């Protein structure tokens, strides 16, 4: 069994402006750096031994801040943890995105939720295989965490339009390549603004 704390990266200017950023590589802003420190504080006594992240800079910087604050080695990156590819919707305002695609309409050029879930599960299995049973902080993205919550809960924790807050922490257990929500540690969160 391996504990995995999935942390959504800190805020970017696109998050603050309520824009879909997907794979667009937008850096953290000052609020995002503060949220990364809050996440590290929430994780401080959890016995975490390593940090991993998506290859996108907003996740990488969040992971570096957390690793430094926890006194851990620099984070490893995994391309399978990148955010969903939103195709033609990249850069659109969230309100416009919901108006156009909120009812489940297909987004031209976008990665499907099923593909996103399969890709991120494979990445987590790979990370655990590299260092089995090592409690790991994984810094990723709202779409990634949303998809994983939907997967482990049969869709009950992943509602359309639901928001995974920047800097929030959700803890999972991986047992024999199966992912489960750690109910006793669920959503060890940090207070943060949009």
- Choice among 49, 64, 73, 83 that is catalytic: 83
Query: Does the annotation count 9 as an active-site position?
Result: yes
Cβ(22)–Cβ(9) below 8 Å:
no
C-alpha dihedral sign at 65, 68, 74, 76: negative
pLDDT computed for residue 155 by the predictor: 77
Q: Check: CATH 3.40.50.1240 for 2-19+28-81+112-185?
A: yes
Q: Is 151 a catalytic residue?
A: no
Name the pTM for this structure.
0.91
Q: CA dist 71 to 47, 50, 62, 83, Å?
A: 11, 10, 14, 27
Q: What is the DSSP letter of 70?
A: H
> 143-166: per-residue pLDDT in tens?
999 999 999 988 777 655 568 999
* Res 186 pLDDT > 50: no
Q: Which is catalytic among the residues 9, 78, 141, 146?
A: 9
- For 64, what's the count of Cα atoms within 13 Å in the CB-facing half-sphere? 10
């Amino acid at each position: 069994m391996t504990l995995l704390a999935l942390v959504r990266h800190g805020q970017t200017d696109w998050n603050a402006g309520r824009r879909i950023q997907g794979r667009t590589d937008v850096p953290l802003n000052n609020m995002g750096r503060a949220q990364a420190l809050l996440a590290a504080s929430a994780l401080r006594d959890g016995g975490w031994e390593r940090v991993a992240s998506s290859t996108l800079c907003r996740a990488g910087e969040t992971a570096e801040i957390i690793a430094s604050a926890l006194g851990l080695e620099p984070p490893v990156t995994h391309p399978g943890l990148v955010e969903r590819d939103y195709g033609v919707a990249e850069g659109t305002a969230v309100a416009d995105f919901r108006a156009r695609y909120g009812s489940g309409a297909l987004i031209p050029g976008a990665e499907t939720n099923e593909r996103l879930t399969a890709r991120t599960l494979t990445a987590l299995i790979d990370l655990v295989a590299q260092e089995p049973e090592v409690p790991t902080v994984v810094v990723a993205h709202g779409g990634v965490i949303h998809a994983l919550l939907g997967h482990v809960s049969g869709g009950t924790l992943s509602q359309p339009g639901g928001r995974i807050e920047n800097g929030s922490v959700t803890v999972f257990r991986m047992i024999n390549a199966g992912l489960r929500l750690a109910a006793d540690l669920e959503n060890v969160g940090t207070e943060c603004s949009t």
